[in-house]
Amino acid sequence: MKERRHVRVLKMVGAGCASMLLQACGGEGDGSALRAFTPSAPSGGSASGGTTGNGGNGNGNGNGNSGGTVSANFDASAAARHALVGPGQQSSGRLTEVEQIGGAIVRINSYALGDGRAVRDIAGDAAFALGRWQAGTVTSASGADTLTGTDGRAYHYVIYNGLATLPASGSFRCDAGTFTAPSRESGAGPVLGSATGNASLRFDAGGGRVDASIRVDASGVVGDVPASAVIADTASTSTTGNYATNGAGATVTLADAGNGAYALVGSYRAIVGAGSYIGAYRFLCK
Are 228 and 182 found together in one domain?
Answer: yes
Does 104 score more than 90 pLDDT?
A: yes
Number of domains the chain contains:
2
Residues 238, 141 within the same domain: no
Q: What is the DSSP string of 164-228?
A: SS--SSEEEEB-S-EEPPPEEEEESS-SB-EEEEEEEEEEETTEEEEEEEEEEEETTEEEEEE--
* Domain end residue (candidates: 161, 181, 215): 161
pTM over 0.85: no
**Model confidence pLDDT, tens digit, residues 8-66:** 333 322 332 222 222 334 444 444 456 665 333 222 222 232 322 223 323 232 345 55
**Structural domain harbouring 114:** 35-161
Contact in structure between 240 and 229 (CB atoms under 8 Å): yes
Q: State the pLDDT at residue 33.
A: 56
Most confident of 82-96, 138-152, 177-191: 177-191
Domain assignment present for 64: yes
Of 166, 155, 184, whose CA–CA distance to 234 is shortest?
166
Q: With 50 as the cut, is the pLDDT of residue 166 above it?
A: yes
Asked whether residue 157 falls in the same domain as residue 42, the answer is yes
Query: Could you tell me if 120 and 225 lie in one domain?
Result: no
Question: Dihedral of the CA atoms 227, 30, 124, 101 (nearest 10)?
Answer: -140
% residues pLDDT > 90 (the chain): 72
Confidence band of 141 (pLDDT split at 50, 70, 90): low
**Both 127 and 235 in a single domain?**
no
Q: At residue 232, does pLDDT exceed 60? A: yes
Give pLDDT, residue 144.
87
> Is-contact 266 280, C-beta < 8 A?
yes
- Judged on CB neighbours under 10 Å (0-12, 13-18, 19+), 229 is buried
- pLDDT: is 47 or 167 the higher one? 167
- CA nearest 152: which of 179, 134, 131, 136? 134
The pLDDT value given to residue 1: 42
What does DSSP say about strands 128-139 and 238-239: parallel, antiparallel, or unpaired?
unpaired
User: Do 74 and 114 belong together in one domain?
Assistant: yes
Mean pLDDT (the chain, rounded): 82
Please check whether residue 77 is in contact with residue 2, taking contact to mean a CB–CB distance below 8 angstroms: yes
Residue finishing a domain among 161, 182, 207: 161
